[in-house]
Amino acid sequence: MEGSGVFGSRSHEDLFSSFFGRNSNVGASRAGGSRSQDYDSVFSFGDKTFVQRGGDRPRKAVAIEKTLPCTLEDLYNGTTKKMKISRDVVGASGRKSTVEEVLTIEIKPGWKQGTKITFLEKGHDVERGVIPADIIFTIEEKPHDFFKRRGDDLTVTLNISLAEALTGHTAQLATLDGRNLRVSIDSVISITHEEVVKGEGMPTQKGRGRKGNLILKFNIKIPKLTSEQKAGIRQLLTSS
């Protein structure tokens, strides 16, 4: 960012609070709760305009930044979020008014934590000679109950019994797009084993239709054995 912000003694938190005086839960699931309006968030920017200065260049209000929480399903499948904003503007007559506008954000499959979406000059427009602030939304990936993301790959840890680890196991899991996936493993599964399922990870930005991998890890449940059971297993394993 060019120039320096003119903020006086106000802290970063104070500035953020001033910009977002009325803020609902951004990116909230549309399936949860009841709402009279179909927007992911409604907010305003307060009544202050902060200006960055850059020599002889036109002055521009400091960018307004806001996180945009997204589920892993949102980032896998893609989705559309609508943000209703309220801002002050001054017309040609010099009269101040408040206008509302809906910003539409198209979340693309494969977007990652930290991806930024910028709406140019959508902040307050109340001071002549000052360019309105940009509004910047930054993707915040919500933790998932089952999958973990590692770049373009997805990982998941499955609980299996010792019998399954020794004799084979068929994993069954629901994918982020709602499919039922079966993965059969016939070899012996150790505690360090990782089963890689190619093309079942997150969509990538490298090419249309390309995906990372799904990596299965295993937590093997070791049962308590009696002396007789231990002797039988020892005899079985040493006789082969």
Which residues lie closer than 8 Å to 125 by C-beta, 6 or more apart?
87, 88, 89, 90, 132
What tokens were used for 84? 């209703």
pLDDT single digits (tens) 187-198: 999 999 999 999
Mean pLDDT of 204-226: 90
What tokens were used for 59? 């002055």
Q: In sequence order, what E strands does 78-232 have? A: 79-90, 96-107, 116-119, 130-131, 135-141, 148-150, 153-161, 169-174, 180-185, 194-197, 214-221
Whether pLDDT at 150 is above 50: yes
Nearest 5°: phi and psi at 146? -120, -50
Number of alpha carbons in the 13 Å side-chain half-sphere of residue 235: 6
Q: Give the global pTM.
A: 0.71
Q: How confident is the model at residue 42 (pLDDT cuts 50, 70, 90)?
A: low
Report the DSSP pairing between strands 180-185 and 194-197.
unpaired
| Region at 166 (left for phi over 0; alpha for psi -120 to 50; beta for the rest) | alpha
Mean pLDDT of the chain: 81
**Whole-number pLDDT of residue 13:** 43
